[in-house]
Amino acid sequence: MEYTNRQILTFQDYMSKVFTYTAIGIGISALIAWFISDNYFLIISKIGYDKFSIVTIAAIVAELGLALFFGAGLNKMEVKTAWICYCAYCACTGLSLSCLLLAYTATSVVMALVMTSVVFASLAVIGHNTKVDVTKFSTLLGVSLIVVIIGSLLNSFVFKSESFSLFLCYISVIIFMGLIIYDTKRLRLYYDACAFNDQMMEKYMIFGAFQLYLDFINLFIRILQIFGKRKD
Establish if 91 belongs to a structural domain. yes
Establish if 85 belongs to a structural domain. yes
Domain containing residue 16? 11-227
d(CA 207, CA 122): 21
d(CA 160, CA 205): 40
CB 70 within 8 A of CB 89: yes
- One digit per residue, the tens of pLDDT, for the chain of length 232 reads 444 444 578 899 999 999 999 999 999 999 999 999 999 999 999 999 999 999 999 999 999 999 999 999 999 999 999 999 999 999 999 999 998 899 999 999 999 999 999 999 999 999 999 998 888 888 999 999 999 999 998 998 888 899 999 999 999 999 999 999 999 999 999 999 887 888 999 999 999 999 999 999 999 999 999 999 998 7
Establish if 2 belongs to a structural domain. no
Q: CA dist 93 to 57, 67, 75, 120, 170, Å?
A: 11, 11, 24, 19, 22
If one counts every other C-beta atom within 10 angstroms of the C-beta of residue 199, the result is: 14
CB-based contacts of 18: which residues, under 8 Å, 6+ apart? 187, 205, 208, 209, 212
Establish if 60 belongs to a structural domain. yes
pLDDT on residue 197: 87
* Domain count within the chain: 1
Q: What is the pLDDT of residues 45-88, one digit of tens each?
A: 999 999 999 999 999 999 999 999 999 999 999 999 999 999 99
**DSSP letters for 66-77:** HHHHHHHHTTTS
Establish if 5 belongs to a structural domain. no
